[in-house]
Structure formats: structure tokens, C-alpha cells
Structure 1
Amino acid sequence: MSTDKTKRAIQHLKELSYLPFTAEQIEFIYDSASFKQRIIELIRQAESRIYITALYWQNDEAGQQILNEIYCAKQKKPALDVKILVDWHRAQRNLLGAEKTKTNSDWYNDERLKNEDLKFDSMFFGVPVNTREVFGVLHIKGFVFDNTVLYSGASINNVYLNQLNKYRYDRYHLINNSELADSLVNFIQHHLLAENVVLPLDVTNRPKTKEIRQSIRTFRKNLATKGQYKLQNTVSFKEELSISPLFGLGNSRNILNRTIKDLFRIVEKNLVICTPYFNFPRSLQLEIQSLLKKGKQIEIIVGDKVANDFYIPPSQPFKIAGALPYLYEHNLRLFSQKFEQYIKNGQLMVRTWKDGENSYHLKGIWVDDTYILLTGNNLNPRAWWLDAENGLLICDPKRELLAQFHKELDYIRRHTQILKHYSEVEDINQYPLPVQKLLKKFARLKADKLVKMIL
């Protein structure tokens, strides 16, 4: 049975569309400060187009600085085509737990009004992936500057861009390939901007979500069934260095989800996984279990609870969202306990990342030094079922990128500790009292599975 699954996985990977590229066309960037600098450089160099998709663009110092660069570029080159797509819901609310003030979309509008003498068209657009944020957001990644793709799971704000000497660690890759850039832009134009529910955010009058609810449902259905990247001048699987852009929404026809499972199924020697929120979908847990039984090596790099972006120190007032890092850590303890024998014999290596007050946001998969997946997908049930996700699958049969693969992993591992036994992970009874009460209440009401599904 497992042999049949492997054959089907290989066949599916062969059916994907791949673009050829060279090792010289990709640059691995290893820290958030350099990522920010490259964004600024690419904005200043852009001649024809800037297309950005991210979960959000925050009204803070880094957000203002990058937006100023965008307006400056537009002022110098009025014909520059700028489209910035963020999640519709996220843009129109305040940060969790923050006081109600102007939202990011209000700020986008204010900034456009400041530059109204330039008569620019709208630049910010909101994408409503579902009628409520909790049931799905825009989690598509990728910045396009002319023919260059800058791909990262990061959004635009202070911590992602290391603005105030505090950072949220992600992955960053720059790929100079005109056909890949065209593919990402064409997807945005035909599957997002062409829809009647993807509306400008930098305007005064925006419709209420309830007014477009039925249109959002139709949009989600169409995006899930028809949304996919189109490529020209493709090459065959596993013949040369190549890359395949992937999209996924929902679980029935989700090419990205299927590709992730296929990557797990073709592992010959080793698999490396990065995720910030330890909450694998059941299907991936089963694949991991199968690989371990076959004797494969697996390394999982996950953020320590204090490196989670929802973490609240015990010295500060407790908020419900602050329980999430503990919930993920509890998942890690149960997982490590279940697979204790593999941790003990060294076949399963679990690393937890922590660097002071900084946070961890890495996602991705490495297989046998031959395949690497760049993605914003958190490899959790929410990404699997609810959010609109994408990724870039790199196939490197001649291992031309091996040195950069290893260098990236070495950087990621720098602030990690290897888990030697599940007991090194705190138990619920060691958590702050408010966290204990909430997690035990979830379990008592059997609500923990629902919480894990949507968060």
C-alpha cells in the first residue's frame, strides 16, 4: 500500500507545471533586517510594476516607511502599476486586545488623501476569503517588483522588518524570473482583482461585510475550484533546476495540500519541517508516523512558546489569545510523548527556537536535499481547510542549491535547542493559573479540537 502511495505521489508531482531557472537567479536572504533593505531597494528600482500580497500592512513605523517609499516611487514614475492586496477583515480591525482607534484601512485612506494632488488610483485592495476572519483569511505570499519575486511569509510591520531592534524570524527568498513573476501577477489580476468583492481599502466609503456576504461565498467557491497559477515554457519534473507555484484553498481540490502530502510520501532519507504553531493536521501526523516506522529521519523546528507571536509574559494581564502558545506547546508535549522511542533513538529530532524576546514565524519543508517548499502555510488545520495559501516548490535534482539550502538551515538552527525527552516540555499544571483554567475548560467542554481547527 505504501509503495502505491509513493508511486501516486511521484506521478502527481510529475503532473505539476515547472519553470526552469538557474542557481544564479535565486538569492537566499537570512535575516529580517536584510529583507527590509531589499524591499526598499526593489521599490526604488521598480520601473513597471509592484504587486504585493500579504496578510496585512500595519500602520506603524516600518509600515509608514515602506509606504513612503511606494508613494515616492509613484511620484517619480506615475505610470508605475502598484497593487497591494491584504486581507479584507484584518485591514478593518484593530490588533487583538488593542484599544479601538483608526484601522489600517483608515490609514491607507488618510495616506492617499495626503497625496490626492498626484491623482493616483487606489493601491490597497482587501480580499475577503470568507465572510468572517476566523473562518479564513488571505494568506497568499509574494512581492513582485518588475520581473523579480521576493517571497516570504512575513507581512509589513515593525517586528517583521526588525524596525525597533526586535524581530519576527521568517524565510526570505529573492527569485529573478520573469515567467514566475508574470504567473503571480496574472493570478492576482484574474482570480483576485477581477472579482467584484475585492475592493479598494484606501477609500472613504467601503461597503460593510454583511452587504457583500453572498458575493464573498461565491468568490470563495470559485477561488477554491478555479484558482491556479498558469505557466508557459515549462520543463519536465526532476530533469533540471525548476520551480512550481502552487495555490490552495479548502481541502477538496487543494493542490498545495496534496503536494505537501506528496513531499512527505517521497522521502527517501530525511525530512525537515518548520512550523511556528505546532498543530499538524491529522493527515500529516499520520504521514509522519508512517515515515518514522519506515526508518526515515525527521527534523521538526518549532518556535518555543515564548517565541510565539501571541505569547504574553505572566507578569502582564492575561488575555484569551495569550493561551494559544501554551495550547501549541501542549500539542508538542503530547506528540513528543507519543513518539518518545524515535526521539530516544535519534530518528526524530525536535528543535525549539528561542532568541530573547524575538518571535518565530518560519514555515517550510526540505526533502532529501532535493526538494524545498517555500510557503506561508503553517501546516496546521486552519491552513489546511480555511485560509487561501500558496507556495513555491523548488526541484533541484542536481543539488545546485545544496550549499544555500544548508546555510539557510544552519541559520535557522542557531537559536534552537534539541528536545531529548518529552518531559522537558512543561505540563499544563506548570502553566500560569489563568492558562490552566482555560485549557482545562476547553478540554472539559471538548472545545479544544474546534479551537485547534480555527487558530
Structure 2
Amino acid sequence: MDEMRKDLLQILNWFKTVSPCFGVCGRNVRILDTPTEYFEALKANARKAEKRIVISALYLGTGALEKELIDCLHNVSRQKSSQGLKVHVLLDYTRGTRGESNSRSLLLPLLKDTETTVQVSLFHTPELRGIWKKLIPERVNETIGVQHIKSYIFDDTVIISGANLSESYFTNRQDRYVVIENSPEVADFFNNLVSAVSSFSFQLAPDDTVGLNNDLELHPYLGDQGSFKQEARKRLQEVLSKDFFRTEKHDNKESENLQINTSQSSTANSGENESGDIKVSENKSKESNSVEGDVDTWVCPLVQMGIFGITHDHDVTQGFWKKALPNSKILMASGYFNLTDHYMDVILQNSRANFSILMASEEVNGFYGARGLAGNIPAVYTHIAKGFYDRICAMNLEERIKLFEFYKPQWTYHAKGLWYYLPGSNLPSVTFVGSPNFGHRSVNRDLEAQIAVITTNSQLKEQLHQEASNLWAHGEAVDEETFQQPHRQVHWLLRFFTRYVRSYF
């Protein structure tokens, strides 16, 4: 047990050198299991909010459940705007304005009714410009790059997820959802991140026009691309640097307490309960006075915005895989399995952990059965998965790296992230959860964010283990026969084109 705690301490100390880390109480972190729970949590927390509701997603659907959610926001805003409640929604421009009925049109009544307290921001990638913006049709233009962060803030409660805000995500599209309550530092971080992205995004007006903030002289697709990217990067780095240096000071004390507790049974500042949890008394500094009780869990935000030269999430993810201990276990999930070549090389050659990777089967891929070219997308992912499986076999790594496909009748699959089990442990101590899929798009094209959660709280570890178990319960092992089935044969022309379009998936 002592050795296991020392291993976790090393992980925590490493995270604190590469990311902001916020200490929280494990009992304030809750894992949701189903889309219905996610939908109800969004509404319940919105009703309770008093000072801020900050929503960041790819898009907002236009079905009955989405309208129910907007009605909830509308009612809360009407009731509490005079008391200081502010509502801010950040979506992607291309996805949020697709079609006649869209996210933009759904949000207009809310904006018109409470204009002074509601803000709607629409991020437009600077990569979509010139002749391509004119020629590439709707839906296809989203492959160039989108705002993909999924964070939902209600006062000091944050829901981090990979799920969007549409009917399938509220009913039968499996994703992941982590609720962090009573954590103003985590809430402030994501609020600041959303505000930074919004500062160089379009702002929706009540008359259905869009414009840029007065302090932004650069246009995302009409002005100089390099200058716009440089300004965006500057604004984003201000958020990342500020929170990184703000957390270093008080987190060092928490690490010292954890270090003491790995070698002593009890101290004045820390202790261990019967279940083996490591408890660290919170350092009540001016910079960290938000957590009530003992800190036993750390939340480390990871941000990836490749188009702006911010590769934080990528660097931490591959670094974590490299640092994973021999005989440790990483469960990894991706709704769209399209690892970059570098990620593949790290897993195959540079990591010593055992991997179990859960992908979407073709039948639960969100594009399965789609009309037109989109209907070929599941086959593209099959081809990519087979290429990775072939490399595993060629290197005789079938025992260390195992692939599974998620299948659940009448459901689609969108879960992503990882769970890390220390050697000899039956429960995970670390999880990554958020919007990245570990693929080309996540690394190079889209705006992404997730959190790494490091915990010694036994109940939270049990929740995480149960979450993973629920997902892998629908996993079917992948072997050579998987790709030999007649319906899994990929046309040679599609295999040929995959090498050229892979970075758009």
C-alpha cells in the first residue's frame, strides 16, 4: 500500500509541473452513468444557479428535449437576471448555424428577452476562409475545424463531458459525464477559458446579426490569418499561465502533506482512514480557500488548440503514457478511433502499461446509415482500426494491447477518455475525461479541453471503476476474424482515400 501511494505521489507531482492542478474533495466529485442523468443534471443545476451559467458545446440541437433545456434556461434567466445571474453560451459557428432551424435560431428568443444578461458566442475557425469557405458546403465545412469543448458551469459546479446538447445525447448516445461541485477554482478556470475563446469569436445580437468585440480588430476569416492566430494564442496563454502559476504555490503544500503521509501513519496535517484513502488538510491560503474539508483529489485541466499552437493536452497525454509504470493498466475509450501516428508509436513502443482500448463498432458509430459520403465514415474508422491492429500483431503485442468494440442495440457510442490503474490495484486512481478523442482532429484542428483527475478517495475510485466496467460490459474483443467479416470489408478506393482525408476525422 505504501509503494502504491508513493507511485501516485510521483504522478501527482509530475502533473503539477505540466498543468494547473486544483485540490478538491473527492466526495464533491460525482460520475453520471446515463444520458438521462446528464440531461437532468443540466436542468437541475441550471435551476439552482444564482450568479452564472456558462455553457460550452459544439452545438445545441433543435428537438423537444433541447427546447425543454432552453426553456429551463429562459425561465431561470427571467427570474434571476435582476439578481445578477449571467448566462453565457459558446458554440461553434459552422455547426451552430447549419440549416434554417439551428442552435442560433433556438437561442434568439432567450437573447432577445434578457439581452443585457445573456451572451451567445460563436467561434469560427480561421482555417475556413477564402475560396474554400465559399465552395465547401454545410456539414463538410465542419471538418476544417470546430469549437469542441464541452464544459457546463453553474455557479461553482462544473460538468465536464464529451457530450453535446442534443436529443440523442440525452437519450441513447453513450458518453461520459463528471460533476464537480463546490469548486470555484475549477469553475473559474473553465469560465476564463470560455471567455478567452469568446473574446475572438462572433457575438450573436438580438436582431440575428453577428459581430466581433470592439477590442478585436482582426477578423477570423477575412483578415490576416497569422495575425488572428497570434492574437488568439496570446489571449489563451494569459488564461493558462495565470492559473498555472496561481496553483503552484498552494499545491506544493498539499504535495508535502501527501509525502508525509506515505511514510508516517499520521501527522498533524494529514491522515489515512481505514479504507486507505489519503487525506490532505486544505491549505487555507488566500489563493485557495474554496474547498471545505480535506483535499484528496486533484483536477488538472488540459487544453488542446493545435491551430493556435497550443498542444498542452497532447503533450501531457503522451507524456503520461510514457510515464505509466510497468504492469499498470490503462483503459482507453474513443468514440472515433483515429490515433495520430505519434500516439500510436507511444502506445506501441514507448509505453510500458497494458492497454485496453474501447472503440465504436460500425453499428454504433454516429455516422452509421448516414446518407451520401457520410455513410462511408464508419468504414474509414474500421480501416484505421485494422491498421493499428495489424501493427499490434506484427510487434507481438497482443497480450499488452487489446482492442474492443462497443455495441449496444439502439444506441450510439461517443465516450472518450482513460482510466489508469496502478500496478496491483483493482481501482483506478487517475482518469482523463472531456472532449478529445485522441485523434487527428482533436490534436490538430478542433478546440478541445479535458481534465485529468487524480484521486485517493476510495468512493470516487469505485465510481470510476464502475463507470469503466459499465462501458466494457458492452465491449466485444477485436481479433483477426473481426475484420474478415463480409460486412467489414473496406472498398479499395475508400482505403486509398483514407490516407489523404484521415486528418479530417
Say whether the fold is shared (TM-score over 0.5): yes
- Give 1:105's aligned residue: 104
The residue type paired with residue 366 of structure 1 is W
Q: 1:10 to 1:264 in 2, by over 3 A?
A: farther
C-alpha distance after superposition, 1:323-370 (max 9, x if no partner): 111110111122222213788853222111111121110110222323
Name which of structure 1's ranges 370-379 and 390-399 shifts more when overlaid on structure 2: 390-399
Q: Verify the 8 A CA contact 1:192 1:198 in the aligned structure 2.
A: no
2:357 and 2:403 in contact (8 A); partners too: yes
Alpha-carbon spacing, 1:103–1:38, altered in 2? closer, same or farther (3 Å): closer
Greater CA drift, 218-227 or 8-17:
8-17
Q: Provide closer, same or farther for how the CA distance between residues 391 and 322 of structure 1 changes in structure 2, counting only shifts above 3 A.
A: same
Structure 1 residue 213 corresponds to structure 2 residue 222: yes
Asked whether the 8 Å contact 1:124–1:202 carries over to 2, the reply is no
Q: Deviations over 1:29-84 (max 9, x none)?
A: 11110111111111111111100000001111111010000000011112310001
Q: Structure 1 length as normaliser, TM-score?
A: 0.84
Residue 377 of structure 1: how far off its partner (Å): 0.2
Please provide the CA RMSD for this pair: 2.9
> Which of 170, 178, 188 lines up with 2:184 in the alignment?
178
1:399 Cα offset (Å) = 5.8
Matched-pair contact (CA < 8 Å) for 1:135–1:386: yes
Question: Residues 306 and 357 of structure 1 are in contact (CA less than 8 Å); yes or no, is this contact kept in structure 2?
Answer: no
* Residues in 2 aligned to 1:218 and 1:58: alpha-carbon distance in whole angstroms: 33
Is 2:42 the counterpart of 1:43? no
Which amino acid is the alignment partner of residue 141 of structure 1? K
- Residues 1:272 and 2:331 aligned together: yes
Give 1:152's aligned amino acid. S
Is the aligned partner of 1:452 residue 2:499?
no
User: Aligned partners of 1:221, 1:442: CA distance in 2, in Å?
Assistant: 37
Q: Can you list the C-alpha shifts for 1:250-308, whole angstroms capped at 9, x where unaligned?
A: 1744111101111111111111110011110011100111257x4x3110011111111
Match among 133, 143, 148 for residue 139 of structure 1:
148
Aligned: 1:394 with 2:453 = yes
1:246 maps to a residue whose letter is: L
Question: Offset at 1:92?
Answer: 1.3
SS in 1 for 2:448: strand
State the shift of 1:218 in Å. 3.9
Following TM superposition, by how much is the alpha carbon of 1:123 offset from its aligned partner in structure 2, in angstroms?
Answer: 3.2
- Structure 2 counterpart SS, 1:57: coil
Change (3 A) 1:334 1:211: closer
What are the Cα deviations for residues 377-396 of structure 1, in whole angstroms up to 9, with x where unaligned?
01101111111111111122
Alignment correspondent of 1:338: 391
| Residues 1:301 and 2:358 are matched in the alignment | yes
| Counterpart among 340, 355, 371 of residue 281 in structure 1 | 340
Partner of 2:162: 153
Relative to structure 2, which stretch is displaced further, 368-377 or 10-19? Answer: 10-19
Q: Which residue of 1 aligns with 2:436?
A: 377
**CA–CA separation in structure 1 for the residues paired with 2:11 and 2:463:** 30
Please name the residue that 2:482 is paired with: 424
Q: 1:255 to 1:330 in 2, by over 3 A?
A: same
Seq. identity, %: 18
Assess, with a 3 A threshold, how the Cα gap between structure 1 residues 201 and 128 changes in structure 2: closer, same or farther.
farther
Cα pair distance change 1:426/1:345, threshold 3 Å = closer
Aligned: 1:123 with 2:119: yes
**Cα distance in 2, alignment partners of residues 259 and 211 from structure 1:** 28
1:19 and 1:46 map into 2 onto residues whose CA distance is 22
Give SS of 1:401's match: helix
Please give the secondary structure, in 1, of the residue aligned with 2:306.
Answer: coil
What CA distance in whole angstroms lies between the structure 2 residues aligned with 1:184 and 1:283? 28
Gaps of 5+ in 2: 1-9, 129-141, 213-217, 259-295, 422-427
1:206, distance to aligned residue in structure 2 (A): 2.9
Q: Please say if residues 435 and 448 of structure 2, whose CA atoms lie closer than 8 Å, have aligned partners that are also in contact.
A: yes
Change over 3 Å in CA distance of 1:344–1:8 after alignment to 2: closer
Which residues in structure 2 correspond to 1:71-110 (within 5 Å)? 71-78=74-81, 79-94=84-99, 101-109=100-108
| Match 2:493 to one of 430, 441, 450 | 441
Give 1:222 shift: 3.3
8 Å contact kept, 2:365–2:413: yes
- Equivalent residue, structure 2, for 1:198: 202
Structure 1 residue 143: deviation in Å?
0.4
Moved over 6 A (4+): 7-10, 208-211, 341-344
Mean alpha-carbon deviation: is it higher for 128-137 or for 39-48?
128-137
SS of equivalent to 1:377: coil
2: CA distance, partners of 1:38 / 1:216: 39
Residues 207 and 145 (structure 1 numbering): CA distance in 2 closer, same or farther, change over 3 Å?
closer
SS in 1 for 2:46: helix
Give the Cα–Cα distance (whole angstroms) in 2 for the partners of residues 119 and 340 of structure 1: 59
Bigger Cα displacement from structure 2, 401-410 vs 237-246:
237-246
3-state SS in 2 of match to 1:86: strand
